[in-house]
Structure 1
Amino acid sequence: MLHVLRRIVLEVSAADNLTSALGIIVRRVRQELDIDVCSVYLSEPGGQRLLLMASEGLNPDSIGLVEMSAGEGLVGLVAERAEPVNLENAPDHPRFKYFPETGEERYHAFLGVPIIHNRRMLGVLVVQQRERRRFDDEHVAFLITLAAQLAGAISHAELIGEVGHRREPAPQKNLQITGIPGAAGVAVGQGVVAYVLADLDSVPDRDAEHVQEEEQAFREALRAVQDELNEIKRRMEGVLPAEELLLFDAYVMMLGSDSLVNGTVDRIRAGSWAPSALRDAVRESTRAFEDMDDPYLSERATDVRDIARRVLMRLQSHVRGPEDFPERTILVGEDVTATQLAEVPTDRLAGVVSSKGTGSSHVAILARAMGVPAVMGVSDLPVGRLEGREIVVDGYRGSLYIQPSPELLEQFKHLQEEEQELAEGLQALAQEPAITQDGCEVPVYANGGLLADIAPSIQSGADGIGLYRTEVPFMIRDRFPGEEEQSEIYREALMSFNPRPVTLRTLDVGGDKALPYFPVVEDNPFLGWRGIRITLDHPEIFLTQLRAMLRASQGLTNLHILFPMISSLGELKDALQLLQRARDELLDEQHVIPLPKVGVMVEVPSAVYLAEALARRVDFLSVGTNDLVQYLLAVDRNNARVADLYNALHPAVLHALAHAARGAHQAGKPISVCGEMAADPASVILLLGMEIDALSVNVASLSRVKWVIRSFSRARARELLTQCMTMEDPAAIRALLNNALVQAGLGGLVRAGKV
């Protein structure tokens, strides 16, 4: 049964449109359960009506015509209850309603299960049989499981149909797809799909610019792969038995098969570029193999995909250059990576849209640092259909609009102009100190991770670097950087800001930050081997980095060192001992090394409750709210399914932050916040009320944060904090703080109303 479920889900996921997907469902379910009728009813927009969209067994003429209200008939009962309804004789039920056009009076047994996706009722899956009977538990379990697994595929197929094909006008204007806010701002531009090379499923739709050239490239790729396979066969003669070598002959024959070659060529001549033409031809070929009951023949689908990937690699020999990106590129992908983001020239990157990830993903953080609007976690996004499409990205609300109408475009362009005016108005303010209305100065530092961040940080008016992510230079190399390399990088950062402080965080990898040459594979990486745990277990790596930091500070006094992921006093003690050892070694080597200030990141719950004890042993504390929120709320910040539960204004988070601030101050030490919460205008008010001593934000947010600080007094912030600490609903807390921003004349930082 699991094998059947998997095959049905795969077939539906590969369907070209909703009609095809629903046809596969009703046909396969009827076949596998050996029943008389299988039908799918889908909710119309608004969820008030249910429409018969596909059926095997009912009158075909009734498809698309039979509709009912969400509470009407037995199908409506399933939708209303959001649970299965299993009846031995459906006509006896008081909610039974007969629709003459379906011819269903012949059927007695009825089983309906709801199709639900992300809490939204998509429709109802129904099976019926002529004889009177209750469907057994196995049938019920099969349909419930199938409906749950198909919900996402049906939602995806709906969107594919609404987006339409590139060569046909999209049937719907202003198609809105909702995800998660990743980086604030709005952008209008042209979709460019970031896809994984040699991955057939990720190839986007694209029109062929020159049909003859595309066909020629495909045929050349075929010949190249045939030659490659023949060469492999020659090399393996004498190594493999003769009967095994026949496999390579079979592969060469597949490359010449009509279904693959003619199927691809026909699609190219119809206007597709070669990679997507190959993709669709392979899907059609493999579907035929997978439908076969013979296990040997069904496995041949794997062989077809394998040789097709080889052809695709040949077709993808051209790497996209900077000039290939449109002037206003909206980068779209299943899981956009930092390297894919970096491939787009910064002057051409207008927005980012990713099917996976959340507002706390590193790509979203990077987008915010670049000032580029981003929408994350758009789980049903038909990525392959968005190449070349005009797209509007609304990073405030986490929405994108495909095929925007001229009227909608005009509204968003007006909003962009307002944003630009606001940014220009704040430029002068960025160079002013951030002093509250009652005279308290709150330094605002910049976050960074590359030397390229230094110049923008200086120009932005930052009071220093509050968080320099030293793992970034490690991540962009293919090996661990040596002590000399690291020292040069750190020296440049320190020199650029001297005498303003530069806080270098020691290597923080693991979790969602992997080094390709030092892989850490774990079932639960965020609760595993990461941060200080790795560096303490590898003192040879840690000491090299500490020595590089200390050497870089010679003749300077602005080095601050920050230890990440500290969860116990023992870890801090061990880290401090290694730091002292590194300094002693350098002193022995006749280096003059000033004693740096040392801090601890508060980003796990245990550190919150140890805040005072930790602060007594170091010079400062710095709260990493991105991880702290995730650990306090048990919400994976990179998981789009639970992203709506990730909320920095959750009462538990506010109480934890207040506790950490009290602990640091009781020990007589300063405490800063360097997570994304420090860049949120509403949260900044509360951090002022908690008497957080400094904030560290991405450069793009710096002027706005300074504006908030200069618009409030500490006393007013404390009043608002007191109110919020008695509240239980994060949404109510957000509304109260947004209202305070508006009253203070900062309405430009609060996005109200929908475009």
Structure 2
Amino acid sequence: MAAGTIRLYKKDEQKIKRERIEDAEAEVARYNMARNEAIEQLGALYEKALKEVGESNAAIFEIHQMMLQDDDYNESVENIIRTQNVNSEYAVAVTEDNFAQMFASMDDEYMKARAADVKDISERVLTILSGGGNDNMSAKQACIIVADDLAPSETVQMDKDKVLAFVTVHGSMNSHTAILARTMGIPALVGTDMPLDSELDGKMAVVDGNDGRIYIEPDDVTLKELMERKKADDEYRKLLQQLKGRDNVTLDGKHIRLYANIGNIKDLATVIQNDAAGIGLFRSEFIYLERSDFPTEEEQFNIYKTVAQTMAGREVIIRTLDIGADKQCDYFNMDKEDNPAMGCRAIRICLTRPEIFRTQLRALFRAASYGNIAVMYPMITSVREVKRIKEITLQVEDELKAQGIQYAVPKQGIMIETPAAAIISDELAPLVDFFSIGTNDLTQYTLAVDRQNTKLDEFCDVHHPAIMRMIQMVVDNAHKAGIWAGICGELGADTTLTRQFLAMGVDELSVSPARILPIRKIIVETDLSNI
């Protein structure tokens, strides 16, 4: 929550005129000079962001640099200049509109949000071409910034000590501006339905990031209630910061593995920032999803090695390729399936296309010699699958040994995310080093509810007794076999269930980095002997 005066931020409108030019090549050179200057500015912004919001969030400015070096973007601008004999400003503006429209029309929410990035880099080039300077977003006193939208570069250029909150009319929760706000710990409302009247400037307001509302000049009763909530919120934040460095141990001495879930190495900064004891789920499929061809063994090895070394001895559990269902990769050339959630996905791809699996395993085993890496296999349904995995891993060991390549054998576990695996967990436990319960798919398959279908939300009871009984069964069977069992699905971050999970004997909770400290608070205040 944040309270203060509103500062209405409006960008200077870039008035672009189409002008005929005589020397197209000279105009292309002029464009390239402006583009190179923009790339330099983005480099400076990257360094500023690196200090303030960490490497993973500063990476957006590296991406913006790459976008300005993209052949498709530059060829579009240069082609318009040459074929139409027009000025650079006009060519950039047309390219901006075309590319932004292309991204905005995509179905994927993440890709839709990239339209804002195209506009950001284009506006930067246009500003340089027009001889203008960047608005440094300076403010004399701390205020609530209200705008139509904010670009990531505008967000980073702000003095965060002078920004109480962001409120934008447009934008999405997947936008980099929203992500930056979360990292900076600044309340942010995006997609807020409100008029941007000039009269707003200077008015007193309260932003509540919990219920997603802005209260403009609230009455005395509402203001008193909001300020009491803000005070409680501030005290809670301070308390959480005091939990950094504390062991994840209950009052009666039970130690819990409190780990973080991440999608790529850019997330490592937030893992360390939030004091996670390790990484409980590294979603390796994003290495595949973020490119247009299969990643090589060397590329994967370098990524896994970086994670292991950065975590400096803390455990890193890497899930093998989990492509399929809602995560499709075109270059895999998979057959179209009527029901992909029940189709060829995850370990089924790995076992039917072992050449892909072996490449990833070789990279993982090599990286394991540089840190505390463990490997887990998703979508297991049978003992036969686990035995086949073991056969392939032994073959990989033999290959690496014969080639004289440095490697280590990591601990190996499986994900329990199908009812079949939960029910035969007593047979699976002796074959592996640990269980990690994927509650998202376990819920989907147990309740026969497609988790991508929002129309079925009322039927998707994540606290369903059947789910709780399965978790208890898996934990009990793990302990009988002398291995540990954790939860890496969304349910692990549900603080209303934390004490129940501890009482059930769950050994590990792996959650998004931002949930580490709130869950630690519950752990260190819990006495299991009284439950």
Residues 674, 186 of structure 1: CA spacing in aligned structure 2 closer, same or farther, 3 A cutoff? farther
> Contact (CA 8 Å) 1:474, 1:515: kept in 2 or not?
yes
Partners of 2:445 and 2:283 in 1: how far apart?
A: 20
Partners of 1:426 and 1:604 in 2: how far apart?
A: 35
Alignment of 1:588-607 (within 5 A): 588-607=402-421
Match of 1:542 among 335, 357, 361: 357
The alignment status of 1:529 with 2:362, answered yes or no, reads no
Match of 2:489 among 649, 672, 675: 675
1:685 deviates by 0.8
Please give the per-residue CA displacement for 1:509-562, whole angstroms capped at 9, x wherever unaligned: 222223354465543332222211222222222111111111112254x22100
1:466 deviates by 1.2
- Partner amino acid, structure 2, of 1:549: L
SS at match of 1:466: strand
Partner of 1:65: none
Larger mean Cα displacement after TM superposition, 695-704 or 596-605: 695-704
Partner of 1:684: 498
Residues 489, 409 of structure 1: CA spacing in aligned structure 2 closer, same or farther, 3 A cutoff? farther
Match of 1:453 among 267, 271, 291: 267
1:611 deviates by 1.0
Partners of 2:5 and 2:341 in 1: how far apart?
A: 35
Residues 463, 209 of structure 1: CA spacing in aligned structure 2 closer, same or farther, 3 A cutoff? closer
- Partner amino acid, structure 1, of 2:342: L
Partners of 2:385 and 2:2 in 1: how far apart?
A: 44
- Partner amino acid, structure 2, of 1:486: Q
The alignment status of 1:213 with 2:15, answered yes or no, reads yes
What is the number of equivalent residue pairs in this alignment?
A: 396
The structure with more radius of gyration: 1
- Partner amino acid, structure 2, of 1:496: T
> Contact (CA 8 Å) 2:166, 2:186: kept in 1 or not?
no
Partner of 2:218: 406
The alignment status of 1:620 with 2:437, answered yes or no, reads no
1:208 deviates by 10
Higher relative contact order, structure no. (Cα contacts within 8 Å, ≥ 6 residues apart): 2
Partner of 1:43: none
% identical equivalent positions: 34
The alignment status of 1:463 with 2:277, answered yes or no, reads yes
Partner of 1:650: 464
> Contact (CA 8 Å) 2:292, 2:331: kept in 1 or not?
yes
Alignment of 1:497-536 (within 5 A): 497-515=311-329, 517-518=331-332, 521-536=336-351
Alignment of 1:377-392 (within 5 A): none
SS at match of 1:406: coil
Match of 1:663 among 462, 477, 502: 477
1:470 deviates by 1.2
Residues 594, 572 of structure 1: CA spacing in aligned structure 2 closer, same or farther, 3 A cutoff? same
The alignment status of 1:554 with 2:369, answered yes or no, reads yes
> Contact (CA 8 Å) 2:166, 2:187: kept in 1 or not?
no
Please give the per-residue CA displacement for 1:194-235, whole angstroms capped at 9, x wherever unaligned: xxxxxxxxxxxx99965x937x67x99xxxxxxxxxxxxxxx
- Extract unaligned runs of 5+ from structure 2: 21-95, 102-117, 125-149
Match of 1:571 among 385, 407, 424: 385
Residues 207, 333 of structure 1: CA spacing in aligned structure 2 closer, same or farther, 3 A cutoff? closer
- Extract unaligned runs of 5+ from structure 1: 1-184, 191-205, 221-273, 280-312, 351-368, 377-382, 718-755
1:565 deviates by 1.1
- Partner amino acid, structure 1, of 2:153: E
Please give the per-residue CA displacement for 1:139-161, whole angstroms capped at 9, x wherever unaligned: xxxxxxxxxxxxxxxxxxxxxxx
Partners of 1:188 and 1:628 in 2: how far apart?
A: 45
> Contact (CA 8 Å) 2:207, 2:215: kept in 1 or not?
no
> Contact (CA 8 Å) 1:611, 1:664: kept in 2 or not?
yes
Alignment of 1:243-254 (within 5 A): none
Partners of 2:265 and 2:168 in 1: how far apart?
A: 24
Partners of 2:393 and 2:402 in 1: how far apart?
A: 14
> Contact (CA 8 Å) 1:430, 1:702: kept in 2 or not?
no
Q: TM-score, with normalisation over the residues of structure 1?
A: 0.46
Partner of 1:633: 447
1:603 deviates by 0.9
> Contact (CA 8 Å) 1:636, 1:642: kept in 2 or not?
yes
> Contact (CA 8 Å) 1:623, 1:671: kept in 2 or not?
yes
1:440 deviates by 1.4
- Partner amino acid, structure 1, of 2:404: Q
Match of 2:233 among 419, 434, 451: 419
Q: TM-score, with normalisation over the residues of structure 2?
A: 0.64
1:496 deviates by 2.3
The alignment status of 1:583 with 2:368, answered yes or no, reads no
Partner of 2:177: 344
> Contact (CA 8 Å) 1:444, 1:695: kept in 2 or not?
yes
Partner of 1:164: none
Partners of 1:639 and 1:331 in 2: how far apart?
A: 28
Partners of 1:187 and 1:570 in 2: how far apart?
A: 59
> Contact (CA 8 Å) 2:368, 2:409: kept in 1 or not?
no
Partners of 1:692 and 1:589 in 2: how far apart?
A: 41
Match of 1:431 among 236, 245, 255: 245
SS at match of 1:467: strand
CA-atom RMSD, angstroms? 4.1
Partners of 2:217 and 2:333 in 1: how far apart?
A: 47
Residues 552, 611 of structure 1: CA spacing in aligned structure 2 closer, same or farther, 3 A cutoff? same
1:618 deviates by 0.6
- Partner amino acid, structure 2, of 1:583: E
